[in-house]
A and B are shown apart, each in its own frame.
Chain A
């Protein structure tokens, strides 16, 4: 294997030799892009929709292969493409089952997504780390949406940003800042690769042996829905101790965010809070008109209650897309991943400070989603009887998460002053998130739209009682 790099090759590793892609390769890129999950454009972009902006070759010591690199513009967004070139003949084993990632042959050469090629993927680590890291083995992380990640020796994870942003990538920026602020619950940065002001790749310590929060929550729920007891605190798979620890870690993350990026004392009250309420009201009215029932009548009291909030508290840089899929339970506790924010929102909006309760709301929404998701696994005839369990699980773990969050020393300084305000601000962010989810589900998974819609209805009703 080509994992080991000697000193000599290390010195040339980050060398990017600019120049056009080999003849014929440009023409294969549009079709290739259309087949990638991370490509946000159409499924079959035409030649005119895609253009190569910059291209070149990354110099490696892998024999008989080349590692080609390109930034391409496709239907209004920029992407990073890494292409392997090898001599023609027999297709390589590693391409088996990956037809979508193969660009094709030109003459005697064969072109494919370079991240599939273990030797080029190992070379890529050397490129990104400027020769300071090497590995014996590499494997891809499956089921990713917007980036491509590679795991080296269960020790390092390299995230290759596919859709490129102008300026710093928030994941790199925030992870590095939190790590420098002494927050240990992020995967420590190992190296990052920036070219002409754009972040291209980010290497971090791999959290070996960890479990995603989402998977743990589902494990707990599956146990509970099949248990003889209807009290979630009594069953073996109780998640609340984890939820409480997760809450505490979340508060520690916010304290570190405040330390690293500062605290806005007035901007939330003066600018972003009114804007949030306007946006929430506007979307509620639209949804209310569509679904009818008691919803339209509940909007005014709900929004009125929110508008009565005098000071929604300080604003800080937040995670922005905080949910159970972004946290990992490891043998040394919970870790938080992926600070890129909600991919569907504009970058400017993603990095905008907000109340830390925005992240809290995100996690609470995720707990409800998990409880409903597992309900969806059950037979239709069982669902009605299990709904009270879904609610019980959600509230049990919601309380535990909030309890853990509020227990963290110093967190009160980042939150609204009194409990009624606290609840109102949290409710605003929960409704905001649920409305965002509703749009998403209607567009992609209409069967799931009832989950966020139910949450909106419930939030409005409970606030009406307040």
Chain B
């Protein structure tokens, strides 16, 4: 392992992640589609930005009917993306720069073109016959909801060849693997070992709640699924210490924590509901949508961490908000019906906030200071837009905009050859919104983001500290303390980090706001603003008074002065 990576086995608690669509990042061979060598070529940029870990969307062999989440061969790199040697080179070059890489792994299902399924549907007696979930009728597991309600009517689809129905929690072309078959369970462990052996630093496990099916249940979060994850984790701990498993379980936080187990399942889980709540709080101009969800977020085991994000390659997930709030989010953020997808909204960050840089910055400030490790979505650091007229979720998967050159500097292929057209509208088009322009302009969103990440890195407490809301009468103001945990033998304290307290105060309103904050517990401390290192007045015995610009925020280090 490269020395640049350090030796902290819990690196993921303080890391900043960056999600990359391989196809959309950079095209090294001018065939119109991004590839692994393209990512390698851009590692210096990612290092400059301050990224600690890349999360690659699936790069395996696939018919690409679902963005690569329909894998047809777990052992092979999709040829358009490169080959195994390219993957090894990417890992090595990343590690040299102190950047880790995790990759998506779809455990729950395969493509219907996977040789396993091709063989399985041949008949009921072949060696792969029992690798998928087959049934003579479509009435079993009736309590399991249909997730992709826009396209699928049932979780069962009839296969004429075999004369049976097969089970699929997602698209009909993605049959679920049968984890009750020990061969399947063992083979998927082999897949994991294979990619860890070439140097990957972990996996983002796609759709983990659905691995097993049981009659009379909704087929989510079953004990059998947890037992299998424990088995995965033990394998990682025994053979690959320091590698991380990140679970995608789109559930309420009190249910998601099950996937941490007793720090014996996944080290990381996504915190889904906090994200729509951040957007909602900004619209409502009051803190309760956020504080409500954070207050119902349980503590997690010491070695674990939340993954939090503003946007990703999927829609803005609304499964976790109430019906009434979902209607509201739809009404507010998706004024055109085309923007609605499944249960969410398919937009990038900047269009979601009406291109208001102040709101985008405040959202990032929240993301970087909330409990969890932030995950950026490629292009959001330069304020990229989307194209809602592209099908499915492609609107937010357009080429990364590197420069004002042809094809946004993403590829030298013919325009018509691109996997998707680059954004060209007058507001978000690559002529103005691109990395090169961001680098040249010191006041760009790109430079701002880099500076924020630098400051965040100076205070590991953002990743590992406690989170306590500070009361204030003004509902538009959200104030909170991040403090080093003092648990004996646990967290940052055990790594010898100096005690640290960062005080954050944010204005969620579009108008300037005052706030009186009861900081008497920190009486005598001098708050130092973290971006400019400006000392603020010492905290006294009276409430601490701050004024905030519209969508303004401060991060203060509390010092002895």
User: Contacts A223-B510, A237-B285: A209 and B471 contacting too (C-beta < 8 A)?
Assistant: yes
Interface string of B461-481 (1 = CB under 8 A from A): 000000001010111100000
Structural contact, A215 and B474, CB atoms closer than 8 A:
yes
Chain B residues with CB under 8 Å of A148's CB are: none
Structural contact, B471 and A236, CB atoms closer than 8 A:
no
Structural contact, A329 and B285, CB atoms closer than 8 A:
no
Nearest-CB distance from B517 to chain A (Å)? Answer: 11
Structural contact, A331 and B288, CB atoms closer than 8 A:
yes
User: Restricting to B310-335, which residues have a CB under 8 Å from any CB of A?
Assistant: 324-325, 328, 331-332
Nearest-CB distance from A233 to chain B (Å)? Answer: 8
User: How far is A45 from B284 in the complex, measured between Cα atoms in Å?
Assistant: 48
Nearest-CB distance from A409 to chain B (Å)? Answer: 18
User: How far is A463 from B331 in the complex, measured between Cα atoms in Å?
Assistant: 35
Chain B residues with CB under 8 Å of A210's CB are: 471
Structural contact, A212 and B283, CB atoms closer than 8 A:
no
Chain B residues with CB under 8 Å of A244's CB are: 324
Structural contact, A211 and B520, CB atoms closer than 8 A:
no
Structural contact, B469 and A209, CB atoms closer than 8 A:
yes
**Is B110 an interface position by the 8 A CB rule?**
no
Structural contact, B511 and A222, CB atoms closer than 8 A:
yes
Cross-chain contact of A137 among B292, B294, B521 (Cβ < 8 A): B521
Chain A residues with CB under 8 Å of B476's CB are: 219
**Is B242 an interface position by the 8 A CB rule?**
no
Chain A residues with CB under 8 Å of B520's CB are: 137, 139
Interface string of B512-546 (1 = CB under 8 A from A): 00000010110000000000000000000101000
Closest-by-CB residue of A relative to B511 is A222
Cross-chain contact of A154 among B286, B291, B518 (Cβ < 8 A): B518
User: Restricting to B455-500, which residues have a CB under 8 Å from any CB of A?
Assistant: 469, 471, 473-476
Structural contact, B286 and A219, CB atoms closer than 8 A:
yes
Give the size of the chain B interface in residues (CB under 8 angstroms).
Answer: 31
User: Contacts A209-B469, A234-B331: A215 and B475 contacting too (C-beta < 8 A)?
Assistant: yes
Chain A residues with CB under 8 Å of B295's CB are: 209, 331-332
**Is A93 an interface position by the 8 A CB rule?**
yes
Nearest-CB distance from A169 to chain B (Å)? Answer: 25
Chain B residues with CB under 8 Å of A226's CB are: 510-511
User: How far is A219 from B492 in the complex, measured between Cα atoms in Å?
Assistant: 39
Closest-by-CB residue of A relative to B469 is A209
User: How far is A216 from B475 in the complex, measured between Cα atoms in Å?
Assistant: 6
Structural contact, B473 and A208, CB atoms closer than 8 A:
no
Structural contact, A154 and B471, CB atoms closer than 8 A:
yes
Chain A residues with CB under 8 Å of B288's CB are: 211, 329-331
User: Contacts A137-B520, A237-B283: A211 and B475 contacting too (C-beta < 8 A)?
Assistant: yes
Nearest-CB distance from B507 to chain A (Å)? Answer: 12
Closest-by-CB residue of B relative to A208 is B471
Structural contact, B328 and A216, CB atoms closer than 8 A:
no
Chain B interface residues toward A at CB < 8 A: 282-288, 291-292, 294-296, 324-325, 328, 331-332, 469, 471, 473-476, 509-511, 518, 520-521, 541, 543
Pairs across A and B, CB under 8 Å, 11 listed: A139-B543, A208-B469, A211-B286, A211-B288, A219-B286, A220-B285, A234-B331, A236-B283, A237-B285, A238-B328, A331-B292
The 4 closest A-B pairs by CB, nearest first: A236-B283, A211-B475, A331-B295, A331-B292
**Given A215-B473, A330-B288, 5 further pairs, Cβ under 8 A:** A139-B518, A209-B291, A220-B285, A238-B284, A331-B292
